[in-house]
Amino acid sequence: MLKARFRARASFFLLAWAILAQGRSPLAQARSSVEKPPALYDTRLLNGFAVEPGEGIAPPVWVKSLEPERVAGIMLIAEALSWQAVPYRLGGESREGVDCSGFVRAVLNLTLPSKGPFPRTSEGFALLGTRQSLIEPGDILVFAEAGKIFHVGIALSENSFIHAASDGPRKGVIISGLHESYWSQRLSGIRKIEY
């Protein structure tokens, strides 16, 4: 049952990324007065993804026809999503348990090894890449309170991110929304890593 629920959730997120692979997100298109409304997308684009809990996600054959930057972004998000439900462990950097910066570092090391080495602290991620004003999938989100950086995650969309939570009702690698006041009030930086 748990495996089937994980596959359904993973399929949902992979479908979202398949849509992004074909162009801008439907939300972004709807906000633009110049573009046409979003078209229906072929769900067969998900054929070939291998998704197993606790394992990485292998790309399907169709990914090879995309630009390298887009493939890297899709693989970054897919790898991050494959870490869902990994427990929180202070100082951890493996699927046995991770903290927030360990999670982001592990995902980046697995998907973008040539761009490393990557920082091990949230403060280090605040200096990585280039500063952005708009959130795009794959960006690094940095959170601070009273001027002190305390948390880091990976953007899944302009209003959701995946991270390793240490406190609250849900712990471990989870997806949260920037519509939640706790996170929206503490977002202090958006960093882009060039793929």
Does the active-site annotation cover 179? no
Catalytic residue from among 57, 75, 141, 151: 151
Residue range of the domain that includes 75: 2-192
Catalytic residue from among 16, 74, 81, 100: 100
- Banded pLDDT at 13 (limits 50, 70, 90): low
Please choose, from the candidates 148, 147, 175, the residue with its C-alpha nearest in 3D space to the C-alpha of residue 77.
175
Query: Per-residue pLDDT tens for 29-69?
Result: 444 433 333 334 344 444 555 444 555 555 555 555 667 67
Q: What are phi and psi of 164, to 5 degrees?
A: -100, 110
Catalytic residue from among 97, 111, 163, 176: 163
Report pTM.
0.69
Q: Which ranges of the chain does DSSP label H, i.e. alpha helix?
A: 2-22, 26-31, 68-81, 100-111, 122-125, 181-184
- Banded pLDDT at 112 (limits 50, 70, 90): very high
pLDDT for 195: 77
Tell me the C-alpha distance between 109 and 113, whole Å.
Answer: 5
Query: Per-residue pLDDT tens for 62-109?
Result: 555 667 677 788 889 999 999 999 999 999 999 999 999 999 999 999
Query: Per-residue pLDDT tens for 161-180?
Result: 999 999 878 899 999 999 99
CATH of residue 68's domain is 3.90.1720.10
Tell me the C-alpha distance between 69 and 63, whole Å.
Answer: 11
Does the active-site annotation cover 151? yes
pLDDT for 74: 84
Is the distance from CB of 92 to CB of 98 less than 8 angstroms?
yes
Judged against a pLDDT cut of 60, whether residue 18 lies above it is answered with no
Is the distance from CB of 97 to CB of 88 less than 8 angstroms?
yes
Does the active-site annotation cover 194? no
Number of structural domains the chain divides into = 1
Tell me the C-alpha distance between 194 and 73, whole Å.
Answer: 10
- Across the chain, what does the average pLDDT equal? 78
Is the distance from CB of 137 to CB of 123 less than 8 angstroms?
no
